[in-house]
Each structure stands twice: as structure tokens, then as C-alpha cells.
Structure 1
Amino acid sequence: WADAPGTARAVAADETPALSALAAEAARNEVLRIAKSGLPAELRTSAWNALRSTLGDAAIEAWLAPGGGYDLAKQRLRDTRTRNRLFCERVAATHTPEFSPQVNAAARTALKGTDPDRAAFVSTGYERAQQRDREVRAADTEHQQEVAARERDFVAALAATDPGGEVRTAAQWALRPGATDADVAEFFGYGWATGATLDLEGHRLRIADGETRRHHALTLLLRKALAAEE
């Protein structure tokens, strides 16, 4: 029994490297998950670069650390040019050619163009294309339909209870004082999809933020455990 404490320390010392290896594998898997996710390209590309680094686990650890590659990639998301590109991508994805052909075409043209082209679309092009689509829909009396009361009630329910803040905002805007049937129709045409896309993007980023912090904290704890064994 006298040797029990020493034996326990020896077992702990043997287990710590194994735990470190498991933590490193989990961290690498998290970076791989981000690389393969639906997060913005800046984050995915940065994650792939970390995975391909010749520094191995050290590169993964540095990427997850505060101020590392993940945080730097998130900072790039706030760059105006990046924000403009993401806006154009979101519009092209949520404004279908069937409901908003002018907006969809303008967004795709901007994506194929230059940074100034995308900036122009964000500042004025989107609104102008929206107006052209509205005019076409207003003139198409053959296919014009009144928004039923039950559809307004459904939008009102989303405005009050949808778990996504962006969807609630879009629904509330569709029912704002002075809004018409066209506003409700536009909510079903693209407002709902746009809000849901923004909510999903925010959810994915929050998960990535939490997992990044968790893996970094685990690395620090294991490092302290290794230091204590020395």
C-alpha cells in the first residue's frame, strides 16, 4: 500500500499523453468540420490551410487559440468587400428567378463582377432591381392574387413566435403599418428565406465560436496537467 500514491502518479502520467492525443484529434476534427461546413468561405479556407500546414497539431492549436486563424478569419468577415460579396451571395440564393428574376440576375452579375460592381449592387442595384420586379408583378394582373387572411395570420404567428430573430423581423416588416398584400407576398417570395438564411448563418457561427473556445480551453488544461506531472 505504501507504493499506491507513486503508482497512481505513474498511471496518471501514462494517461496524460493519451488524453493529449485524443484532445489533438478532437481539435483537428473540429477544424475539419468547419472546413467542410456551410460557414463563409473565409472561415472554410482558413481552416483548410491550418489542416494542410506542415506544423501539424501545433498549427491546429494556433488556429483555435484566441487571436489565431479562426479569429482572424472572422475579422475578415467584417471587411466591407467581404460583406458585399456575402450579401450578393445571399440575395442570389434567396431571391428565386421565378419570383424575383431581376434581383436574381443582378445579384449573379455582381458576383461575377468586380468589388465596385458588388458595392454598387449593395448600395443601389438591389433596391432598383427589387422595384423592377415589383412593377412586373403589379402589371401581371392575370396571376395576381390577394393575400388571404390565413396567410396574414401565419405571418403574424411567425412574427411573434419564430425562434429566429431575423425571421421575426422580416415577418414584422411584412405586417408593418401601411404594408400591403405585396409586402406579404414578398415575405413568402424571399423575406422568409432571407431571414432563415441569416438565422442559420448566425447559429453556425455561434456553434463554431463555442467549439473553438472549448477546444482551446481543453488544450490549456491538458498542458497544465502535463506540467504538473513533470
Structure 2
Amino acid sequence: MYRAGLRMSVVLVPVLLCSLAAGPAVAASVTASTATSVASTQEAQYRVMARRLKDLDPRWEVRSAARTAYISDKVDAATKFFSTGGGYMEARSRATASATRNNLLISRAIATSSPTVSPIVHLTATRAQYGTLDEKDRYVRTGLPEAKKLDAANSPVEQAKVQAQLDRDYVTSLAAHASGAWVRAAAQRAVQLGTDNDIAEFFKYAWASAAACDLQAFRLELDEQEATYRHELERLLVLARDAQTAYEQAADAAKVKAAEEARLAWNNAADVAASTQATWAANQELAASQAQAWKVVYDFALKATTEQDWASIAERATGTSTSWTGEVTWAQEQAKVWTELERTIRASATAIPVTTPDAQG
């Protein structure tokens, strides 16, 4: 999980239930058409999240399941997908099992190979060990069998050129100052191993893969927090609706206490929505810093004159910066959604009239 100063990244598709904006009089007279309209709004909001997952989730199992929910012609497909025990949670469990299996197979490939006896397997398995979930999956399915065939045919391992000191210095700088934890770790490994092959491997493969891992880790963190916070809000909304019903049905003698409990229940739910503002600000700040860092890489690549493939590096830097900019936009949009959700839930609390025992008597 992504831990670069961000502990509680939150993504939550808001659940707008029919009693959120209703005071006691209005809530009691909700029509079937209003309930249908609210359910439609809820489904639309879940579809936004399903679309993001089908396009951007790092796990192919989640992408596939989200796509099925997104293109379904059932009116509540996305809502059911994100419900407790629904398709999202099932796909996440399958993805965890697949990742565990892939890690085991890659670890075995490293342990049972060596740079001299089976150099292609050893090189590619070591590379895959630090890859994204998709890279690991592709390697286990196709890369590892191909590497074994190459070793069996005694294919030679390409030797890297002598690496320029400027390139070594650049990797050393990334090892200390790169904005992403995965990129820093990849650069640190290259510096610690220190051979020309290791420096070449970093520029050709490890850097791009580590950059993708930083983005993957960020998105996975958001997905995990989304599930936790969404279910917590749903739990509090159930309590708030129950408290609202108890208040509406309370006898006059118990009305004041029931009103206080209902207001508290609605405010507790609203507090969850309000608390996300700080985390969405942190999400936005982190994504913006990453986008800027990759713009710096792009500018450096345009001016670099060593023998690395700086044109490809510049192209990758542009794509990575664009992806992080997209995360900035997502954070901004979600902050607005949560602000409105907090306002709507809070309105249910303020709609309950403040009365006193004397006034009731």
C-alpha cells in the first residue's frame, strides 16, 4: 500500500438515501417516484466509480468485474456491484489470490535459477519481482515460459555498455530524492548492485516499472479506503434512519430525547463525510507533486546527452505525469461530491425542530 505521507486516502461513492434531505414531515410522505429518483441518482454515482475501476484499477480481475457491472442493462447493477459481499469484494478476493500465486511462482523462478546456469530466467524473474500486478501476471503466463525456452536454447544475455558517470550520478540522485517510494527503491537497488548491467536495467526497464508501481499503489490505497469508508457511512445512515423513525413515532413525553438522538445520528454520519476533506486535500497534494516531478524528468530527458534512450524516457515521463494529473482531477471532483454529501446529511439533522419539555407541555 502507498504510504508516502498519506495514511488515510479515501475514495467513497456517496450513497444518497431517500431520507437524507428529509425533515420529519417530508420523510413521512416520500412518494414512490421520489424513491425511484433517489435510487437512480445513487446508481449513477456508483457507475462513475465502476467506470473508474474498469479503466484504471491495477487488478485485471477488478477491471473485468467492474466492466461487467458498468455495461449491464440492469438498473441496479452498479449498486449491487459495490454492496457488501458484492462483485467488487469478490473480484478483490480473486485478485489477492492471483497476486499471491504469481509472487510464489516468481520467487521460485528466482530461487531455482542463477545468472550462469539460467541467466534469462534469473534476469527476467528478478525484474518481474518488482513489477506491477499486470506485469507479474503477464510474466507468469507468457514471460517465464519464454525465458525458459531462451535459456534452453543457450541464448546469450546482452551485456550493457559501460555506463556514463553522469548516468550513475542521476540514478544515485533518484535513489535519494525521487518522489515515489517504488522509484526510489528501484534506483537504490541499481546503485547498490552497481554493475553496468544494473544501471542499464534501471534505465531500460526498472524505472518505468517502478513508476507504474507508484501509481498502482496509490490507486489501490484509494480503492481499499473507499470500501472501508463507504461501508462505515452506510452503517451510520442505517442508524440515522432508524433514529429518525423513532423520533417520528415517539410519544410526546419522549419526543425531546428522541429528537436529540436523531440529530446526533445524522450528525455522526455527516461527520464521516466532512472528515474526508482533509484526506482528499492530501490526495490532491500528493498527486500534484508526482505530476510535477515527472514534468521535471521530462525536461531533464530533453536535455540529456548520454547514451540512454532519453527520447523514450521523455515519452514515458509525459504519460506518467498525465496519469498523476488525472488523479489530481479525481481528488478535486471527489472533494466536491463529499462536500455536497455532508451538506445534505447535515440538513436532515437541522430539519428536526428543537423543542423543550416545557414547550411540549
1:78-97, aligned counterparts within 5 Å? 78-80=96-98, 84=102
* Cα separation, 1, equivalents of 2:244 and 2:58: 39
Match in the other structure for 1:141: none
Q: Does 1:169 align with 2:192?
A: no
Q: Does 1:203 align with 2:212?
A: no
* Cα separation, 1, equivalents of 2:142 and 2:102: 6
Q: Does 1:180 align with 2:199?
A: no
Deviation at 1:148, TM superposition (A): 2.4
Match in the other structure for 2:87: 69
* Cα separation, 1, equivalents of 2:61 and 2:68: 11
Gaps of 5+ in 2: 1-21, 107-119, 129-133, 246-361
Q: Does 1:37 align with 2:56?
A: yes
Match in the other structure for 2:243: 228
* Cα separation, 2, equivalents of 1:72 and 1:122: 29
Per the normalisation by structure 2, the TM-score is 0.42
Task: Give the aligned CA root-mean-square deviation in angstroms.
Answer: 4.3
Change beyond 3 A, Cα 1:125–1:203? farther
* Cα separation, 1, equivalents of 2:70 and 2:236: 23
Q: Contact (CA 8 Å) 1:81, 1:119: kept in 2 or not?
A: no
Q: Report percent identity of matched pairs.
A: 33
* Cα separation, 2, equivalents of 1:127 and 1:71: 39
Q: Contact (CA 8 Å) 2:171, 2:187: kept in 1 or not?
A: yes
Deviation at 1:167, TM superposition (A): 1.5
* Cα separation, 1, equivalents of 2:166 and 2:176: 15
Q: Does 1:26 align with 2:26?
A: no
Deviation at 1:216, TM superposition (A): 3.2
Which shows bigger deviation, 21-30 or 153-162? 21-30
Gaps of 5+ in 1: 1-6, 89-99, 139-143
Change beyond 3 A, Cα 1:120–1:147? closer
* Cα separation, 1, equivalents of 2:38 and 2:234: 10
* Cα separation, 2, equivalents of 1:69 and 1:220: 19
SS in 2 for 1:147: coil
Q: Per-residue displacement from partner, 1:169-225 (whole Å, max 9, x unpaired)?
A: 21111111x521221111001110111122222222112222233333333333333
Change beyond 3 A, Cα 1:47–1:36? same
Which shows bigger deviation, 26-35 or 185-194? 26-35
Match in the other structure for 2:170: 154
Q: Which amino acid aligns with 2:219?
A: R
Change beyond 3 A, Cα 1:166–1:81? closer
- The size of the alignment, in residue pairs, is 191
Q: Contact (CA 8 Å) 1:61, 1:216: kept in 2 or not?
A: no
